[in-house]
Chain A
Amino acid sequence: MTLATFEVFRQKSPGDPHVHVGEVEAPDSATAMVLAKEHFARREVCCSLWVVDRAAVAVSHWEPEVLQAGRAKAYRRSGGIRASADGPS
């Protein structure tokens, strides 16, 4: 039996995002789903689960600085304006 690692995502209630909660190991996704239910939906609030084979996940390779570069672009945030009787408010 060959086991694969499946990443488990849980949605707490309708409208919430599916959030990563852990992993299970299983021979296939149907078995992974049963294990995910037993591990992550037995005690917890849950309305939906995703299991994703880890091999199918593409991971970013950039350094954190590159991914955070957007925050340095101050020109994207315009300054405030003072509201007055004869100007825009």
Chain B
Amino acid sequence: MAVRSAQGTSTRPGTAQPGTAQPKRAESAPPAEQVEPWQDLSEDYRRAAARMIEFHMMSEIVGPVHEFRWVPRAPSLHAKQVFAAKSQDEIGHGLMLLRVCEDLTGKSRADYMEQILDGPPRFMNIFHYPWDEWVDPAIVAWLIDGAEIERQATLLRSSYGPYARAMRKIVKEEGFHHHCGRYLVAQMMAGTPAQRSAVQRGVERWWLRTLAMFGPSDERSKHGPTLMAYGLKLSHNEALRQSFLTKYVPQIRAMGVEIPDDNLSRDEETGRWTYTEPDWAEFSSLLRGGSPVGADLQRELREARGANAWLLAAA
């Protein structure tokens, strides 16, 4: 299958750009449509890939601060173990993606550490909200990690080879997280009325944030069409959101939780969901300008880095 470039011509990803030399192999491209960092990739392709992968990488490193804060506060030994392992997984994903970014852009680990600790907050919307109650990390693991799997499973076929390969491990581990989250929520639903209403409140808090996580539909998405054209991204945001709804609306209802959207309905013929749109202005303001909660995650990472400086110096 050929991948369309951003200009709409049929070619291998990242190779054809107006005004740049066509790579020698363009005529007889190997059957694989994936490219490797040492190939002759256009600057435009590298830039688009870097923007997408750096965002994912920073999310995997900054986000777990929320999670490891919950390790000492989790209500059972099992829950502590789940969140200790989950934090370690997420940081591991971040480190794998950091390697992918370094090979793609030529920046060093030190450059990226500076960007992560002190740079602009380029990470997912969901980390900009407080995780104050025990139900918050549990619902994020259940619904957000579940939503992430929808998207990341398509990225196993992303045109950038090293990213697609890293995704194998990431998707598998997000699966563990989703199942643990679902289990922890189910435990609360089997508990006291106070626990059940905490879950209900939690879903009410996180519902629109979860739908927003997929990003706006194409007509509003700034970089989406380019990423799709390059085969870096394989599914439209709206298609992913629809498949999330198809899978999770019944799952949430089966859990005994009400979804806080009176407009939520499914057209039986087309299978398409109608739903109340998230606040896209809030979404873009978080992604561009960050939030006090997000800034606090970066601060905590900076402090951890400072506290470990003696060890790095000794190594």
Known A1-B312, A24-B95: A64·B176 in contact at CB below 8 Å: no
Q: How far is the CB of B251 from chain A (nearest CB, A)?
A: 24
Interface residue A73 (Cβ < 8 Å from any Cβ of B): no
Q: How far is the CB of B252 from chain A (nearest CB, A)?
A: 27
From the candidates B28, B99, B173, B176, name the one contacting A5 in the complex (CB within 8 A). Answer: B99
Contact B88 A42 (CB under 8 A): yes
Give the chain A neighbours of B38 by CB distance below 8 A: 59
Give the chain A neighbours of B176 by CB distance below 8 A: 43
CA separation between A25 and B109, bound complex, in Å? 9
Contact B315 A1 (CB under 8 A): yes
CA separation between A25 and B102, bound complex, in Å? 11
CA separation between A65 and B88, bound complex, in Å? 42
Return the chain A residue nearest B32 by Cβ: A64
In A20-73, which residues have CB < 8 Å from any B CB? 21-25, 27, 31, 38-40, 42-44, 59, 63-65, 68
Interface residue A3 (Cβ < 8 Å from any Cβ of B): yes
Contact B24 A63 (CB under 8 A): yes
Interface residue B57 (Cβ < 8 Å from any Cβ of A): no
From the candidates B88, B99, B173, name the one contacting A22 in the complex (CB within 8 A). Answer: B99
In B131-188, which residues have CB < 8 Å from any A CB? 165-166, 169, 172-173, 176
Interface residues on A, range: 20 to 34
Give the chain B neighbours of A63 by CB distance below 8 A: 24-25
Chain B residues within 8 Å of chain A by Cβ, number? 21
Q: How far is the CB of A45 from chain B (nearest CB, A)?
A: 11
Known A1-B313, A31-B315, A63-B25: A23·B92 in contact at CB below 8 Å: no
Contact B30 A64 (CB under 8 A): yes
In B81-101, which residues have CB < 8 Å from any A CB? 88-89, 92, 95-96, 99
CA separation between A65 and B99, bound complex, in Å? 29
Give the chain B neighbours of A27 by CB distance below 8 A: 315
From the candidates A3, A31, A59, A65, name the one contacting B109 in the complex (CB within 8 A). Answer: A3
Return the chain B residue nearest A21 by Cβ: B169
Contact B95 A39 (CB under 8 A): yes
Return the chain A residue nearest B38 by Cβ: A59
CA separation between A22 and B99, bound complex, in Å? 9
Give the chain B neighbours of A65 by CB distance below 8 A: 25, 28
Give the chain B neighbours of A3 by CB distance below 8 A: 109
Q: How far is the CB of B57 from chain A (nearest CB, A)?
A: 14
From the candidates A5, A22, A44, A68, name the one contacting B96 in the complex (CB within 8 A). Answer: A22
Contact B28 A25 (CB under 8 A): no
Known A1-B312, A1-B313, A65-B28: A23·B99 in contact at CB below 8 Å: yes
Q: What are 17 inter-chain pairs, A to B, with CB distance below 8 A?
A: A5-B99, A21-B169, A22-B169, A24-B99, A27-B315, A31-B315, A38-B92, A39-B96, A40-B169, A42-B88, A42-B92, A43-B172, A44-B169, A63-B24, A64-B25, A65-B25, A68-B30
Footprint of B on A, CB under 8 Å? 1, 3, 5, 21-25, 27, 31, 38-40, 42-44, 59, 63-65, 68
